[in-house]
Structure 1
Amino acid sequence: MFSSIAFPIFEESIRDYHKFDNVDQPINNPYPKDQIEHLLYLKNWIDTVQWHLEDIIRDPQINPVDALALKRRIDASNQERTDMVEYIDSYFLQKYKEVHAKPHAKINSESPAWAIDRLSILALKIYHMNEEVNRIDATPEHKVKCQEKLNILLEQRQDLTTAIDDLLDDIQSGDKYMKVYKQMKMYNDDDLNPVLYQNKK
């Protein structure tokens, strides 16, 4: 099952990041570039760095100039995240290119890679909620509340991994088919964001 490959790689990426816990730490991807594992590790590393950038920018004492620089870095990270999703979907399109959809085949509401994107974020939620459960300076009440949330996240992981594997099985059997739309993000595009293209005049 694909999720049994993906989720441990997400956990590995998160653990590797937290060895340094530094948003500027260079990635050290252990997987060859021609393998899907490489894309999965890279995808989660981008998500993990962005998770911590989002934490930093919410510091109420942050310098406004630093906040603006962080906001632009987060925007760039969002674009990278989208690009990685499209790369992963390209992998699945290639993998299943010989599959002929059955006459009754249906399309899913999201592509496999966007579901995998949600699984990557879920891995981060589980990691950090588990940290809260085990925080030495936290009150017992805080730990109980976080444990309840962690239990829900773990249930969500089971549901999401099952849904991803079922979707891939359905695509492979021809019961569903893939149709991938490029995200066409506009806010980073000099030709589509009015603030950007008006400043080019």
Structure 2
Amino acid sequence: MPLDSKSLVRQVLQLQAEAVTRWHNEPIDNPYTGILGVVCQQHAFNYQLWHEEDVARSRDVTDERIAQVKRAIDGFNQQRNDWIERIDETLLEMLGAAGVEAPAEAPLNTETPGSAIDRLSIMSLRVYHLHEEFEREGANDAHRQRVGERLARCAVQTEDLSGSLTDLLGDIIAGQKRLRVYRQMKMYNDPTLNPYLYKSTRKAG
């Protein structure tokens, strides 16, 4: 894929919106390659995380089911963060292949493209489910007005975030900003770093 920030962001937005709709009717898939394949996989973990969190908030499930869901949430969240890093790693590979190298004094951004794409992924899920609520049978006018206001805010946020991401990618591609992969280093799933896990392991032994 050529390094064009506007085209890439446009394709990411389209992928996320179409995948959310498709996955609500068909099994999760990933028909993409290259950077879009990585974006899609990261998006899939957000999709699964979103729906597990819905179950976790239900009052109609057993404690055993909640425990299963909590473990699934931890797993999906870990994978979500791992694949944010993979998006940035893939972008670095693409920049290297294109011969783009920012000078050492070029500024860094507080948020990486992978993190911004993750936020757009979550926004696409929010928009889909808000549309469901807007169209829900039996919803009254007050409910639809409240949901419509949230959809309008989501549209503004999506436009702002995607525009900022386009600008950031443009600066990175032009060598005017540096891209660095920031490791999330989550501790809660690591049995060597989570005291509860490694103490439990010692007791079991």
Matched ranges for 1:68-147 at <5 A:
68-97=67-96, 98-102=99-103, 105-147=106-148
* Structure 1 vs Structure 2 CA RMSD: 1.4
- After superposition, give the CA deviation of every residue in 1:90-111 in whole Å (9 maximum; x if it has no partner): 1111122332324652110011
Name the structure 1 match of 2:186: 185
The runs of at least 4 aligned residues of structure 1 exceeding 3 Å deviation read none
SS in 1 for 2:19: helix
Which has the larger displacement, 92-101 or 183-192? 92-101
Name the structure 2 match of 1:169: 170
Name the structure 1 match of 2:154: 153
1:14 to 17, 20, 29: 20
1:31 is displaced (CA, Å) by 2.1
Name the structure 1 match of 2:36: 37
* Structure 2: distance between partners of 1:100 and 1:54: 41
1:138 is displaced (CA, Å) by 0.6
Name the structure 2 match of 1:47: 46
Contact 1:101 1:176 in 2 (8 A): yes
Identity of aligned residues (%): 37
Contact 2:46 2:80 in 1 (8 A): yes
- In structure 2, the gaps of 5 or more residues are 1-5
- After superposition, give the CA deviation of every residue in 1:64-111 in whole Å (9 maximum; x if it has no partner): 011001100110001110111111111111122332324652110011
1:197 is displaced (CA, Å) by 0.7
- After superposition, give the CA deviation of every residue in 1:142-169 in whole Å (9 maximum; x if it has no partner): 0001101100100111101101110000
* Structure 2: distance between partners of 1:92 and 1:13: 21
Name the structure 1 match of 2:3: none
- In structure 1, the gaps of 5 or more residues are none
Equivalences, count: 194
Name the structure 2 match of 1:200: 201
**In the alignment, residue 36 of structure 2 is paired with which amino acid?**
E
* Structure 2: distance between partners of 1:185 and 1:104: 29
**In the alignment, residue 128 of structure 2 is paired with which amino acid?**
Y
Contact 2:35 2:91 in 1 (8 A): no
The question of 1:59 aligning with 2:58 is answered: yes
Which has the larger displacement, 131-140 or 187-196? 131-140
* Structure 1: distance between partners of 2:69 and 2:16: 24
Task: Tell me the TM-score normalised to structure 1 length.
Answer: 0.92
